[in-house]
């Protein structure tokens, strides 16, 4: 054993050993409790980054720890391999998306392997592989047959230059992010998942996800957006030609109907469409609304514009009363019925609108203590609950009662009904792109939309595609789309859209259970492994990915592919990795390795010696060059250093600041432990007192076990360091050799999940049997967890005045006598008598003077 730890040899040696012995290969074993640890699989963008290192380190600690605790652990890895960057690379670099993707996977796999993760690589999968997406097509068809997939029309952001549909985030100031052309709203026939069929269930079931962060549950709750209200039907006066004579609105405030002074329709409401045909001004107004779009700057968004159709609607409660019908840009077709009634006295937005267009305001709710005769609305609507006024039969009721009464009346009159609305919309999954899972449907002139028969799956992506023309390469392909109709045998064409990549990631956790099965999932395997016991990833997926996966699992349940509803029993969202940024005087961003720190604390550019502006620490990003490449760190310090640093200092849910000094500190600790084990196990015949050391050892085992269970890895790191400190001290004092050995063994086992290579090397060096990663977790002996004496705090009037050592569980009179005899206590009492004593055994005694 040499005195300096050679991480290069050790890390590759143990990685080879684990692989050779297949120690992380998982198989179903009903005799043992299972534990499925999963980290969100990466997009193969090229290289792994520090965010991956953090994510996979956290998961690996859990996996190794649970394995040591006797669980049958499944810990797989795969690739979220479809997506737009591959097509961009194809166009810009003339590389086929498949080659680009598989090359990146090879690079990243090699980088991940160098981290020493306890992964079952035999289960590796890539979503772009036909062996994966074939089964996704099967699920899509099964969902279709179960009524969870349908074809509908949707407005999309259409880029007229690139001939493609853009995601909202690709529309910047109303223009395509790449072409710069003004984006058009187009109505296209698209595929949807019927996620709204589960709105209420997805909401209700959040309550059962006890091991999910509250934050994520709340975000999903808000996203689903349940609200109670009513549909109200208004009769349109003087029915316009070819139009409905009724308009249905949704409202959460049926109580304020008497305050309604106008109706507003969405620019995309069918009624609006009908009117616009004969009204060029309205048509222009609708076009104007479309131009403003949804992603306009906040200032633009704040402007509310309307168009008076000149039509009137009859008030459902007040015979003879009518209100004008407007079209307004702020009414969304996608929410409610696409039409509202405006009550300016009770809604700020409506109030702003009527002030602009000079419509009337009728106050209908006032604060409890206000006077009905003098209560008036100025520039602020009264939106709180209160007492009803100017509302006929509702007058005097409170808001809740008025809502109930108004709904009852609507239902009795047949002019409306109580209902529940959700903000959640169905999931649009069609993408006009090449690098995605083909949608297994055929369009036939005579049969319509026909599913591809199961036996013909997969519908495989053609490889010979070109990216030099704008638009979807599948559309341009000379032959691919032409196909015989599976139903009538006549000429038909394939659906050339591909699925949103969120579909790929909505079931990969299930596929991992039987990754090579000839069906999407093997029931026995998913029944055994699912749900995922611990899922770990970034909070940026808190809504879409996690919600889609929850929906998809329900769909798989309904179609008989699984028997559970919730895929992730436990969820942990980690913080991001940050670094300060550096900027030269001329504005260039500099990489951390391009700067030097001077002794006086100043920072200069290495190449020029000129001073550098140090920016605040923020999320690592290539554009600001505040990045550190994991590969470089592993080359210099090894994987264990990177892992240890990732776990130290910052709690995993918070952002972590990467610092060179912190990495150095981690590296120093590894060498310190190395020397410690070498030195301490050398002294074989010492017979000193060892009670302190045993207490430290078993206390550490106990604490670290609990800390790992609670995801408090940074605290576990601190306790491991403490144990190392104590061993060094006690061994230096000549503690009993057998006890030192016990402590060192515990230390090695405790650090094993965090620094597995160092752990194996140390384990071998002290003559441990087998592999460390197969050793059981150490057990704390309870008899060393409690001391005979305890130090307790002595307070006078709540202020600490002394600490005294007492027998454990000493009775109050004894504690009181000792406490009062303390000089500092006497001084603080200033001769006053004892009025009261609060005694918490083994903790504190507080004397009230």
Interacting positions 657-716 with RNA (CB under 7 A): 657, 659, 661-662, 664-665, 668-669, 671-672, 712, 714-715
- How big is the site for RNA, counted in residues (CB under 7 A)? 87
Between 514 and 846, CB nearer to RNA: 846
Nearest to RNA of 90, 203 (CB atom): 203
Q: Which residues make beta-bridge pairs with 595?
A: 605
Our finding on whether 95 is near RNA (CB under 7 A) is no
Is residue 309 close enough to count as binding RNA by CB under 7 A?
no
Q: How far is the CB of 194 from RNA (least distance, A)?
A: 18
How many beta carbons lie within 10 A of that of residue 279, not counting itself? 18
834: contact with RNA by CB under 7 A: no
Of residues 302, 420, 779, 785, which one binds RNA by CB under 7 A? 302
Q: Which stretch binds RNA (CB under 7 A): 115-123, 332-340, 527-535, 742-750?
A: 332-340
Binding to RNA by residue 615, rule CB under 7 A? no
Q: How far is the CB of 233 from RNA (least distance, A)?
A: 15
- Residue 397: which of 387, 407, 408 has the closest Cα? 387
- Give the 3-state secondary structure percentages of the chain, helix then strand then coil, rounded to 5: 40, 20, 40
360 lies in the binding site for RNA (CB under 7 A): no
One residue of 62, 340, 700, 751 binding RNA per CB under 7 A = 340
Taking the C-alpha atoms of residue 153 and residue 158, their distance in angstroms, rounded to an integer, is 14
Q: Among the candidate windows 107-115, 301-309, 363-371, 502-510, which touches RNA by CB under 7 A?
A: 301-309
Q: Is 483 a residue that touches RNA (CB under 7 A)?
A: no
User: Which residue in 98, 74, 102 sits closest to 87, CA to CA?
Assistant: 98
Closer residue to RNA (CB): 141 or 707:
707
Q: Would you say the C-alpha torsion 757, 762, 764, 770 has a positive or negative sign?
A: negative
Exposed e or buried b for every residue in 324-340, given b needs 16+ CB within 10 A? bbbbbbbbebebbbbbb
Q: Decide if residue 596 touches RNA (CB under 7 A).
A: no
Asked if residue 294 binds RNA (CB under 7 A), the reply is: yes
- Give the nearer residue to RNA in terms of CB position, either 222 or 608: 222
* From 192, 330, 507, 528, residue interacting with RNA (rule: CB under 7 A): 330
Using CB under 7 A as the binding rule, whether residue 824 contacts RNA is answered as yes
Shortest distance, position 646 Cβ to RNA, whole Å: 12
- Whole-angstrom distance, CA of residue 159 vs CA of residue 385: 46
Are 78 and 508 a contacting pair, CB within 8 Å?
A: yes
What is the nearest approach in angstroms of RNA to the Cβ of residue 281?
A: 19
Among 292, 450, 604, 820, binds RNA (CB under 7 A): 292
Interface stretch with RNA, choices 93-101, 142-150, 536-544, 749-757 (CB under 7 A):
536-544
Residues 6 or more apart from 77 whose CB is under 8 A from it? 39, 41, 112, 117, 119, 120, 121, 123, 124
Minimum Å distance from CB 48 to RNA? 22
With CB under 7 A as the contact rule, the residue among 154, 161, 188, 332 that binds RNA is 332
User: Which residue among 5, 14, 65, 250 contacts RNA (CB under 7 A)?
Assistant: 250
Q: Please report, for the chain, how many H helices and E strands are present, in that order.
A: 26, 38
Q: Could you say whether residue 336 binds RNA (CB under 7 A)?
A: yes
Give the C-alpha separation, 257 to 314, whole Å. 12
Q: Which of 129, 557, 721, 741 binds RNA (CB under 7 A)?
A: 721
For RNA, which stretch binds (CB under 7 A), given 26-34, 445-453, 635-643, 823-831?
A: 823-831
Q: Is 347 in the site for RNA (CB under 7 A)?
A: yes
286 touches RNA (CB under 7 A): no
CA dihedral (114, 116, 121, 127) in degrees, to 10, reads -60
Q: How far is the CB of 828 from RNA (least distance, A)?
A: 7
d(CA 736, CA 749): 20
**Contacts of RNA in 495-514 (CB under 7 A):** none
Q: Binding segment for RNA among 49-57, 313-321, 333-341, 761-769 (CB under 7 A)?
A: 333-341
Considering only 722, 781, 812, 820, the residue that binds RNA (CB under 7 A) is 722
Question: How far lies 102's CA from each of 43, 49, 430, 517, in Å?
Answer: 11, 18, 24, 22
Q: Residues of 231-244 as b/e, b for ≥16 C-beta within 10 angstroms? A: bbbbebeeebeebe
Q: Toward RNA, which CB reaches closer, 771 or 796?
A: 796
- Locate 833 and state its tokens: 């008598």
Distance (Å, whole) CA 793 – CA 808: 13
Smallest separation, CB 42 to RNA (Å): 20
Residue 156 to residue 568: CA distance in whole angstroms? 32
Closest Cα to residue 837, out of 805, 807, 792, 787?
Answer: 792
The single residue among 98, 161, 450, 539 that binds RNA, judged by CB under 7 A, is 539
| Nearest to RNA of 156, 525 (CB atom) | 156
Q: Give 778's DSSP letter.
A: P
d(CA 30, CA 820): 62
CA atoms within 13 A on the CB side of 460: 9
One residue of 136, 266, 626, 681 binding RNA per CB under 7 A: 266
Closest CB 422 distance from RNA, rounded Å: 8
- Residue with smaller CB distance to RNA, 31 or 298: 298
Task: Return d(Cα 643, Cα 64) in angstroms, integer.
Answer: 13
User: Minimum distance from CB of 331 to RNA (Å)?
Assistant: 4
Judged by CB under 7 A, the stretch of 134-142, 507-515, 689-697, 800-808 that binds RNA is 800-808
252 near RNA, rule: CB under 7 A: yes
Stretch that binds RNA, among 249-257, 398-406, 491-499, 763-771 (CB under 7 A): 249-257
Alpha carbon distances (Å) from 747 to 526, 675, 741, 772: 37, 13, 10, 12
Q: Is 15 in the site for RNA (CB under 7 A)?
A: no
With CB under 7 A as the contact rule, the residue among 237, 446, 608, 797 that binds RNA is 797
Verify binding: residue 807, RNA, rule CB under 7 A: no
**Is 427 an interacting residue with respect to RNA (CB under 7 A)?**
no
Residues 383-413: b if buried by 16+ CB within 10 A, e if exposed: eeebbbbbbeebeebebeebbebbbebbeee
Please, which residues bridge with residue 176 across strands?
171
Instruction: Report the distance separating Cα 214 and Cα 217, nearest Å.
Output: 5
- How far is 513 from 75, CA to CA, in rounded Å? 10
* 531 contacts: CB under 8 Å, gap ≥ 6: 36, 564, 566, 567, 568, 569
- Is residue 543 a contact point for RNA (CB under 7 A)? yes
Six-digit token string for 760:
């194996």
821 is a site residue for RNA (CB under 7 A): no
Verify binding: residue 400, RNA, rule CB under 7 A.
Answer: no
For residue 675, the number of C-alpha atoms closer than 13 Å in the C-beta half-sphere is 9
Does the footprint of RNA cover residue 376 (CB under 7 A)?
no
| Contact with RNA (CB under 7 A) among 150, 335, 357, 375 | 335
Among positions 572-591, residues that touch RNA (CB under 7 A) are: none
Q: Is 827 among the residues that bind RNA (CB under 7 A)?
A: yes
State which residue, 244 or 491, has the beta carbon closest to RNA.
244
Interaction between residue 812 and RNA (CB under 7 A): no
**CB-nearer residue toward RNA: 26 or 264:** 264
CB of residue 666 to RNA, shortest distance in Å: 8
In this structure, what token pair is assigned to residue 771? Answer: 């592999």
Residues between 173 and 232 that touch RNA (CB under 7 A): 214-215, 218-219, 222-223, 225, 227, 229
Closest CA to 278 of 304, 311, 231: 311
């Amino acid at each position: 054993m040499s005195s300096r730890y050679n991480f290069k040899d050790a890390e590759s040696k143990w990685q080879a050993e684990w692989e050779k012995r297949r120690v992380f290969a998982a198989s179903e074993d009903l005799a043992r409790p299972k534990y499925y640890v999963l980290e969100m699989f990466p997009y193969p963008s090229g290289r792994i980054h520090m965010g991956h290192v953090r994510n996979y380190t956290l998961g690996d600690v859990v996996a190794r720890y649970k394995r040591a605790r006797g669980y049958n652990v499944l810990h797989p890895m795969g690739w979220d391999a479809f997506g737009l960057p591959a097509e961009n690379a194809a166009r810009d670099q003339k590389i086929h998306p498949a080659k680009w993707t598989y090359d990146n996977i090879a690079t990243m796999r090699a980088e991940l392997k160098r981290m020493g993760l306890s992964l079952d690589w035999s289960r590796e999968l890539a979503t772009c592989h036909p062996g994966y997406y074939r089964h996704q097509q099967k699920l899509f068809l099964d969902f279709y047959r179960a009524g969870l997939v349908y074809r509908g029309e949707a407005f999309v952001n259409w880029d007229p230059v690139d001939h493609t549909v853009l995601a909202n985030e690709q529309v910047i100031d109303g223009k395509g992010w790449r072409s710069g052309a003004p984006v058009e709203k187009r109505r296209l026939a698209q595929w949807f998942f019927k996620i709204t069929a589960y709105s209420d269930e997805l909401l209700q079931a959040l309550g059962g996800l006890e091991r999910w962060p509250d934050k994520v549950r709340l975000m999903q709750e808000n996203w689903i957006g349940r609200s109670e209200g009513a549909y109200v039907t208004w009769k349109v006066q003087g029915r316009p030609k070819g139009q409905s004579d009724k308009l249905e609105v949704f409202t959460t405030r049926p109580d304020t109907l008497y305050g309604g002074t106008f109706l507003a329709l969405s620019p995309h409401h069918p009624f609006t469409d009908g009117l616009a045909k004969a009204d060029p001004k309205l048509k222009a107004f609708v076009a104007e609304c479309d131009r403003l779009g949804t992603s306009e700057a906040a200032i633009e968004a704040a402007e509310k514009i309307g168009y008076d159709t000149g039509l009137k609607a009859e008030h459902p409660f007040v015979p003879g009363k009518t209100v004008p019908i407007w079209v307004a840009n702020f009414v969304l077709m996608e929410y409610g019925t696409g039409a509202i009634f405006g009550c300016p006295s009770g809604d700020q937005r409506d109030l702003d609108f009527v002030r602009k267009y000079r419509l009337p305001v009728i106050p209908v709710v006032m604060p409890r203590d206000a006077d009905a005769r003098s209560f008036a609305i100025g520039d602020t609507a009264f939106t709180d609950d209160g007492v009803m006024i100017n509302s006929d039969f509702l007058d005097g009721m409170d808001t809740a009662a008025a809502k109930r009464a108004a709904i009852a009346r609507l239902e009795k009159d047949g002019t409306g009904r109580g209902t529940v609305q959700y903000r959640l919309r169905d999931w649009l999954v069609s993408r006009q792109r090449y690098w995605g899972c083909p949608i297994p449907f055929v369009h036939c002139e005579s049969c319509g939309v026909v599913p591809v028969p199961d036996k013909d799956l997969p519908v495989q992506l053609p490889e010979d595609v070109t990216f030099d023309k704008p638009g979807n390469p599948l559309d341009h392909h000379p032959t691919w789309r032409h196909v015989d109709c599976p139903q009538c045998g006549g000429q038909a064409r394939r659906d050339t859209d591909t699925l949103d990549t969120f579909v790929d990631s909505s079931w990969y956790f299930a596929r991992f259970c039987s990754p090579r099965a000839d069906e999407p999932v093997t029931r026995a395997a998913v029944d055994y492994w699912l749900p995922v016991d611990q899922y770990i990833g970034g909070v940026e997926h808190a809504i879409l990915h996690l919600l889609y996966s929850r929906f998809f699992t329900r769909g798989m349940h309904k179609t008989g592919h699984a028997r559970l509803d919730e895929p992730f029993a436990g969820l942990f969202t980690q913080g991001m990795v940050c670094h300060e940024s550096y900027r030269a005087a001329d504005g260039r961003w500099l990489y951390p390795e391009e700067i030097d720190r001077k002794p006086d604390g100043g920072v200069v550019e290495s190449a020029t010696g000129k001073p550098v502006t140090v920016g605040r620490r923020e999320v690592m990003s290539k554009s600001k060059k505040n990045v550190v490449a994991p590969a470089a760190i592993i080359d210099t310090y090894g994987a264990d250093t990177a892992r240890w640093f990732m776990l130290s200092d910052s709690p995993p849910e918070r952002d972590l600041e990467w610092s060179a000094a912190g990495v150095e500190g981690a590296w120093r600790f590894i060498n310190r432990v190395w020397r410690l084990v070498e030195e301490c196990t050398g002294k074989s015949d010492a017979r000193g007192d060892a009670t302190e050391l045993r207490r430290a050892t078993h206390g550490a085992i106990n604490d670290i076990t609990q800390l790992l269970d609670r995801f408090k890895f940074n605290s576990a790191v601190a306790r491991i360091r403490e144990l190392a400190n104590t061993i060094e001290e006690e061994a230096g004092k000549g503690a009993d050799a057998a006890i030192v050995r016990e402590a060192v063994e515990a230390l090695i086992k405790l650090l094993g999940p965090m620094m597995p290579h160092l752990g194996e090397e140390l384990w071998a060096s002290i003559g441990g049997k087998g592999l460390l990663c197969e050793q059981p977790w150490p057990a704390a002996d309870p008899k060393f967890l409690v001391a005979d004496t305890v130090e307790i705090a002595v307070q006078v009037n709540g202020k600490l005045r002394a600490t005294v050592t007492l027998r454990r569980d000493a009775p109050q009179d004894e504690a009181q006598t000792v406490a009062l005899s303390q000089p500092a206590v006497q001084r603080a009492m200033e001769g006053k008598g004892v009025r009261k004593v609060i005694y918490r055994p083994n903790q504190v005694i507080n004397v009230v003077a």
